[in-house]
Chain A
Amino acid sequence: GEDVEQSLFLSVREGDSSVINCTYTDSSSTYLYWYKQEPGAGLQLLTYIFSNMDMKQDQRLTVLLNKKDKHLSLRIADTQTGDSAIYFCAERRSGGYQKVTFGTGTKLQVIP
């Protein structure tokens, strides 16, 4: 299918780790992205990973990529209330800059 799939909702306690999962569709995708959207705002690019990598770490964020299963995850260590937002994964398919397909977003709720 054409969809990039994510679960709709995740709730975690402050200080715990959050893991947000995504399944993408195109095995030829070259880049995979994670964006964060806070209420009333546009998307903010958090991180991205090249398709020839398995893992990328950036401070509290860890991205894992399983190309065989077309599965991408974002782990947020020591989750804070400021991490509450909607997280979108996206894939860049072959065909140029405009071919970035977004998932439906996962709403992360952090409970104090």
Chain B
Amino acid sequence: NAGVTQTPKFQVLKTGQSMTLQCAQDMNHNSMYWYRQDPGMGLRLIYYSASEGTTDKGEVPNGYNVSRLNKREFSLRLESAAPSQTSVYFCASSDPTGGGQPQHFGDGTRLSIL
């Protein structure tokens, strides 16, 4: 009963390096999300995927790309990392019943850009 699994849990990058954050859910959910969490701020949506093959920009998409590889997996890519992207990144999923809000979160990836 894994829920939402994110890898890696921690990562340090140098400015300009690229990296992909991985996320997988085993609950057969259609919707998946990527958020970032910064000190003193609420979670901000980076990208959203309503179903396999579809993605939409959220509030802060600049500098990121996403891939919804299949129903289970939703990856987030930083093509050229910048110090402003230092943050904790959370992947989440939801099913369409209930309020349509993100329901299940991974434990996060703590990313530092030097």
A89 and B29 CA atoms in complex are apart in Å by 23
Q: Is the interface of A mostly helix, strand, loop or mixed?
A: strand
Q: 25 interchain pairs (CB within 8 A)?
A: A4-B42, A30-B99, A41-B105, A42-B90, A42-B106, A42-B107, A43-B102, A45-B104, A48-B99, A50-B99, A88-B43, A90-B42, A90-B101, A92-B99, A92-B100, A92-B101, A96-B100, A97-B31, A97-B94, A97-B100, A98-B56, A98-B58, A100-B45, A100-B101, A102-B43
User: What is the CA–CA distance of A101 and B5 in the complex, to the nearest angstrom?
Assistant: 23
Q: Is B53 an interface residue (CB 8 A)?
A: no
> Among B43, B103, B104, B105, which residue has the most Cβ atoms of chain A within 10 A?
B43
Interface size class of A (residues with CB under 8 A): 20 to 34
Q: Is the CB of A104 within 8 A of B40?
A: yes
- Contact at A31–B101, with CB atoms within 8 Å? yes
Could you tell me if B105 and A97 are in contact, using CB atoms closer than 8 angstroms? no
Least CB distance from A61 to B in Å reads 16
| A28 in contact (CB, < 8 A) | no
| Known contacts A4-B42, A104-B40; is-contact A41 B107 (Cβ 8 Å) | yes
The interface residues of chain B lying within 8 Å CB-to-CB of A98 are 33, 45, 48, 56, 58
Do residues B101 and A42 form an inter-chain contact, with CB atoms below 8 A?
no
Q: Which residues of A contact B103 (CB under 8 A)?
A: 45
**What is the interface of chain A, defined by CB distance below 8 A to chain B?**
4, 30-31, 33, 40-45, 48, 50, 88, 90, 92, 96-98, 100-105
Q: How far is the CB of A76 from chain B (nearest CB, A)?
A: 20
Residue numbers in A under 8 Å from B102 (CB-CB): 43, 45, 100
- Kindly state whether residue B24 has any CB partner on chain A within 8 Å: no
Which A residues are CB-close (under 8 A) to B58? 98
Chain B, 86-114, CB within 8 A of any chain A CB: 90, 92, 94, 98-108
B49 → chain A, closest Cβ, in Å? 10
